[in-house]
Amino acid sequence: MAILAVENLHRRFGGLHAVNDVSFQVAAGQIKAVIGPNGAGKTTLFNLVSGALTPSSGVVRFQGKDIQGRRPFEIAALGMARTYQNIKMFAGMTALENVMVGCHLRGKAGFLSSMLHAPWTWNEEREVLGKSMELLELLEIGESAHVLATSLAFGQQRAVELARALAMQPSLLLLDEPAAGLNIYETAEVGRLITKIRDMGITVLLVEHDMSLVMDISDEIVVLCFGEKIAEDLPAAIQNNPEVIKIYLGE
Amino acid sequence: MKRILPILPLLAVVVLVQLVTAWTGTQYYLTQMTMAAYYSLLIIGLCVLMGYAGQISLGHAGFFAIGGYLSAALTTRSLVPFKEAALVRLLDNCGMLHAGKDLYGGELLVVTPWAAAVFAVLVAALIAVAIGIPVLKLKGHYLAMATLGFGIIIYRLVLATPWFGEADGISGVPPFQLFSGVTVSGETSVRILNYYLAWGVLLCGLVLLINLMQSRIGRALRAIHGSEEAADAMGVNIARFKLQTFVLSAVFAAIAGVLLTHYNGGIGPSEAGVMKSVRYVAIVAVGGMAHLWGAMFMGVLLNFLSLRGVFGSYDDAVFGLILIVIMLFAPDGILSLITGRKKQAVTVPTVQQDREV
């Protein structure tokens, strides 16, 4: 069953048709990759799916519900998490606190009970703390838990961002260039991690430039070029698709 | 409990100050310490709004004035002419009215301080909701200007309305008996009691806000400040949290206004003035924006000095100067100069720093 369905999606920025009539589906439990040259509309597509941008027209269906035009926090509540190409840490907060924000939706404490530090919030706080620490350790940055997130190394910030997204316990995880800026060893590590996340039962949709990573881990690939979908197939078939080769290597 | 522990030494200092003034015969200082404590209640509320939620407000003197003026007017303006009105009779039956004699022996019928205080704070909260919903959509300079506009409106309203005493303000506000034996009043006989009462209220407010900042809500607020886009994607309802914080800080301001007005026995239009709002923002900035302890400490110190008349006629000029100097040389607050504390969360609070792809 498709957990995410995109149908005839359009987005125009003035005269630029950034996403032009794109349709595809993501089946539950798979890793699906979106690739394409710079400016193909990949990040715009992500922003449309996650609610950061509103489509000019078209349908985004997540778990059977039409979500186009809904606000990001509403879509997050339905079980969609995302990371960003240019990492967006919560400045002024530690790595641990960043991940704890990821647990926001599962908490119930409101203004009054928080101000009174009411006993019925203690349990929730303990659970959030334990869960967040667990995730940091899963991503092997447990020792940096109490360091300001923005002062961590780039690769570690990536890990914090991923832990933060996992803390939401999403059913669908959008990863925007998870390997950008990483060396080949770190990239391979990220690949193993994404496979692990899939095995935890989380569906993954990722945008990525690193072809070897995409070919290694994806179950299916969508190719975008100038906002249009030009191919959608298994990795092996994409590698031999003449049109895709033409885009990447020229005539 | 760990988070509350720093309160204890502070409590000791509060007691020590009182004892020292008693020994040295300088109890008159306690009056300004009491007033400074009430002003600081407003300051720490504003600190949460500015430093943690990242929203600036140049209209908080307005909320202070709403609290102060409404409780002053309701507890002094006689309802005798409206004695037969259904609403007045209903209030009377609920025990919310207080009959007495005015200065010239005439009949007087006014609202009790408790009822007036609750009403004043509720009105401030409602106005904060009504103002906050449209205004908090704005960012940075635009939000500052919109809240400034609100502050000016309140100032002009109290200045032009006879019921609020126009340029004279309202005097003769009665003492506020909180409960048996504890009365908010400026009389010398209860000066020490009121000193402890004001500090008790301030420290309670501080504990509540410290709790808030270390909770799920506090994390969400700081996340909004860190990156609105990412907080949104984590499921944080940004518009709602900003509004709730705005209302919370307005309620703190209104409570401060109510209590200080009863303590002073009156309120004047300068309390609603724009320069007051600027002063509050300056004090939060000196304290270090996202630093409740710093804001409280600076709130007490600067208000105390100002109330003692240390700055003379240059009062407002001094606070303007403080704002400039702090922004130039210590944008992380004055304490950062001593501790070397650096925090990137303390740039101009509302300017969106996310660059988009």
Predicted local confidence at residue B5, as pLDDT: 78
Interface mutation vs chain B, best among A13, A62, A101, most B CBs within 10 Å: A101
Using CA atoms, how far residue B8 sits from A124, B4, B203, B258, B335, in Å, is 28, 8, 10, 27, 20
- A125 in contact with chain B, both atoms CB, cutoff 8 A: yes
Which of the residue ranges B30-34, B78-82, B214-218 would you say has the lowest mean pLDDT? B78-82
- B220 in contact with chain A, both atoms CB, cutoff 8 A: yes
Q: What is the CA radius of gyration of chain B?
A: 21
Q: What is the CA radius of gyration of chain A?
A: 19
- Token pair for B261: 């007005």
Which of the residue ranges A79-88, A181-190, B15-24, B92-101 would you say has the lowest mean pLDDT? B92-101
CB contact under 8 A, A102 and B234: yes
Domain map (residue ranges) of chain A: 1-79+171-182+203-251
Reported as a single tens digit per residue, the pLDDT across B151-174 is 999 999 999 999 999 999 999 999
Q: Which of A84, A88, A111 sits opposite B248 (nearest CB)?
A: A111
Query: Would you tell me how many other CB atoms lie within 10 Å of the CB of residue A104?
Result: 23
What is the DSSP secondary-structure string of A63-82? TTEE-TT--HHHHHHTTEEE
Q: From B53, B232, B234, B225, select the one nearest A101 (Cα to Cα).
A: B234
The reported pTM is: 0.90
Predicted local confidence at residue A165, as pLDDT: 95
> How far apart, in whole angstroms, are the C-alpha atoms of residue A125 and residue A134?
14
Q: Is the model's pLDDT at A39 over the cut of 80?
A: yes
- B159 in contact with chain A, both atoms CB, cutoff 8 A: no
**B239-267 average pLDDT score:** 96
Residue A91 phi, psi dihedral angles, 5° rounding: -60, 145
CA distance B340 to chain A (A): 15
> How far apart, in whole angstroms, are the C-alpha atoms of residue B251 and residue B121?
6
Q: From B26, B111, B18, select the one nearest B70 (Cα to Cα).
A: B111
Closest residue in chain B to residue A97, using alpha carbons only: B219
> How far apart, in whole angstroms, are the C-alpha atoms of residue B285 and residue B273?
19
> How far apart, in whole angstroms, are the C-alpha atoms of residue A137 and residue B291?
30
First to last CA, chain B: 44
Which residues in chain A are contacts of B236 at CB distance < 8 A?
Answer: 73, 101, 104
Query: Would you tell me how many other CB atoms lie within 10 Å of the CB of residue B103?
Result: 7
The residues near B302 (Cβ < 8 Å, ≥ 6 apart) are B283, B286, B319, B322
> How far apart, in whole angstroms, are the C-alpha atoms of residue A100 and residue A129?
7
> How far apart, in whole angstroms, are the C-alpha atoms of residue B303 and residue B44?
13
Residue with tokens 């022996």: B105
- A142 in contact with chain B, both atoms CB, cutoff 8 A: no
Q: From A38, A103, B36, B106, select the one nearest B44 (Cα to Cα).
A: B36
Closest residue in chain B to residue A96, using alpha carbons only: B219
> How far apart, in whole angstroms, are the C-alpha atoms of residue B252 and residue B249?
5
Q: Is the model's pLDDT at B353 over the cut of 60?
A: no
Reported as a single tens digit per residue, the pLDDT across B274-315 is 999 999 999 999 988 888 999 999 999 999 999 999 998 898
Q: From A250, A246, A204, select the one nearest A26 (Cα to Cα).
A: A204
Q: Is the model's pLDDT at A183 over the cut of 70?
A: yes
**Hey, which CATH number is domain A1-79+171-182+203-251, 3.30.300.210, 3.20.20.70, 3.40.50.300, 3.40.50.720?**
3.40.50.300
Q: From B293, B295, B284, select the one nearest B348 (Cα to Cα).
A: B284
Residue B76 backbone class (left: φ over 0; alpha: ψ -120 to 50; beta: rest):
alpha
- B2 in contact with chain A, both atoms CB, cutoff 8 A: no
CB contact under 8 A, B219 and A100: yes
Q: From B122, B155, B102, B188, select the one nearest B275 (Cα to Cα).
A: B155
Q: Judge residue A21's burial from the number of C-beta atoms within 10 Å of its C-beta, 0-12 exposed, 13-18 middle, 19 or more buried.
A: middle
Reported as a single tens digit per residue, the pLDDT across B39-55 is 999 999 999 999 998 89
Reported as a single tens digit per residue, the pLDDT across A132-172 is 999 999 988 999 999 999 999 888 899 999 999 999 999 99
- A2 in contact with chain B, both atoms CB, cutoff 8 A: no
Q: Is the model's pLDDT at B271 over the cut of 80?
A: yes
Closest residue in chain B to residue A150, using alpha carbons only: B344
Partner A, chain B 242-271, Cβ-Cβ below 8 Å: 244, 248
Using CA atoms, how far residue B293 sits from A8, B3, B88, B298, B323, in Å, is 55, 12, 44, 9, 19
> How far apart, in whole angstroms, are the C-alpha atoms of residue B106 and residue B241?
50
What ipTM was reported for this prediction?
Answer: 0.91
Q: Which of B211, B227, B244 sits opposite A90 (nearest CB)?
A: B227
